Amino acid sequence: MIKSGIVHGIPNFTVGRWDDLQATPATGDKKAQLTTEAFRDTPWELGCFRHDQDNTLHFAYQMSHKWDEITAVSPHLHLVPLADPAGADENAIFKGQYTWWAIDDGPIPANASWTALSTATLVVPAGGVYKHRLLELGDISGPANPGRSSMLLMYIYRHGTDGADTYDTNKDHGTAAANLGLLSADLHYMSRSMGGTTEYG
């Protein structure tokens, strides 16, 4: 529901509106790291998930002062399939976990206290190669005691070694198994204001 209001005599068109929060992920090392290669025959490079490994991403989203803390946030990945399935649809499987961490909220929780993400599946149909695709990772409710600079820590991986990950068509250039490119990642959130009235409040 879109909220409305008047702030200092001016209609407030930001309350109850969606916005993007972007973060550049750190990747795993060794086999967990994405394979960086040129896109098709261009000089532009991107990180690629392989179908024969579990490649990982690590995010630290610092929430905007505009965020309405009682609303859920929606993380997602922007992906591009780099190989075309020959027939039936093929699936790329993503899993992960997350935790919230507010300022002065104590140590980052141990792994047992993190929350598992629901499995997310990118369906790649025949003819889907080189198309910009969006993979939603599920809505995440805010923490019990949110602050304007709360952080959402996320660990996400393509479970290429999972039997349910059937997107195993090799691409026709570079590293054959590196068949799914990561364009970017962001977090949708609902705003409640233009921003905070104090620097950390």
Phi, psi of 98 (to 5 degrees): -150, 165
196 assigned to some structural domain: no
3 assigned to some structural domain: no
Domain that includes residue 155, residue range: 19-190
51 assigned to some structural domain: yes
195 assigned to some structural domain: no
- 145-148: list long-range contacts, CB under 8 Å, 24+ apart: 145/102, 145/105, 146/63, 146/69, 146/100, 146/102, 147/69, 147/102, 147/103, 147/105, 147/200, 148/63, 148/65, 148/67, 148/69, 148/196, 148/200, 148/201
13 assigned to some structural domain: no
pTM of structure: 0.85
Instruction: Assign residue 136 the CATH number of its domain.
Output: 2.60.120
Give 28-42 pLDDT, tens digit per residue: 777 899 999 999 999
8-state DSSP, 50: -
Give 93-139 pLDDT, tens digit per residue: 999 999 999 888 788 889 999 999 999 999 999 999 999 999 999 99
73 assigned to some structural domain: yes
> What pLDDT was estimated at residue 129?
97
Least confident of 11-20, 46-55, 118-127, 137-146: 11-20
Q: Which two tokens stand for residue 86?
A: 């020959």
149 assigned to some structural domain: yes
**Number of domain units in the chain:** 1
> What pLDDT was estimated at residue 146?
79
State the average pLDDT over residues 158-170.
97
